[in-house]
Amino acid sequence: DPNEDTEWNDLLRHFGILSPKEKLQDEPEEMVLHLQKEAEKPYERKNLEELREDEDDLDEADRKAIEMYRQQRLQEWKCLQRRQKYGELREICGEQYVKEVTNAPEDVWVIIHLYRPSVPMCLLVNEHLSLLARKFPEAKFLKANVDSCIQNYQDRCLPTILVYKTGEMKGRFIGAAECGGRDLQVEELEWKLAEIGAIETDLEENPQKDILNMTSSVWNISAHEDVSTKSCDVMKPRVA
């Protein structure tokens, strides 16, 4: 019997005298499991339009599963749209402050830098924020010439970085010392914003940990309700 599984037949097959054994009808168990798994959720390989076209041919359980999957895809699409919406440090003026900052979407962190071009450290902060805006496109990074927002704002209060979410100020850095000093590195600024919660950094430790005692209270807003509030009133931008 040429199909019999014997050493002699194996030898004849080796020399090409007999044809290879016919493939058994039953697939190996792992192949069957793989095919079953592939057939379980064919909708995961389809786009939203294809899902809508196939919906009439599905039972109730499949429709529920597809609806859940559709909602997941919609959320992913919305997140992608949001990430594409930001990703740069944009310039605004005082008239746009309420729209761009206070009335920003509730789930979006807004980082705005009030600057004056004549202050050297303001230019450095703008460079760093431009880099961070590209690295964290889910957050909205803005800059505004302080003269378009607040009257008679003093140079000693610059740079001023304000952090908002849901229309409320969550943190602020006022003046060169609080922003990190004239030798500020982009990683230090990234860490500061991450501690507030505005971004999710991949840094494992504070780049400026050796002088942490100098900046430990920067994001505690209540600590600034005395002299800073009187001399550097950033709570009331001028709106035309």
What is residue 128's predicted lDDT score, i.e. its pLDDT?
Answer: 97
Task: Please provide the CATH number assigned to the domain covering 90-203.
Answer: 3.40.30.10
pTM of this prediction exceeds 0.85 = no
Q: What is the CA 156 to chain-centroid distance, rounded?
A: 33
The 10s digit of each residue's pLDDT in 10-47 is: 767 766 666 666 554 444 555 555 555 544 455 555 55
Give me the residue spans of the domains in the chain.
90-203
Residues of the chain with pLDDT under 70: 1-5, 11, 14-59, 78-84, 209-240
The 10s digit of each residue's pLDDT in 162-171 is: 999 999 999 9
What is residue 208's predicted lDDT score, i.e. its pLDDT?
Answer: 73
Rounded CA-CA distance 148/136 in Å is: 27
Contact 174, 122 (CB under 8 A): no
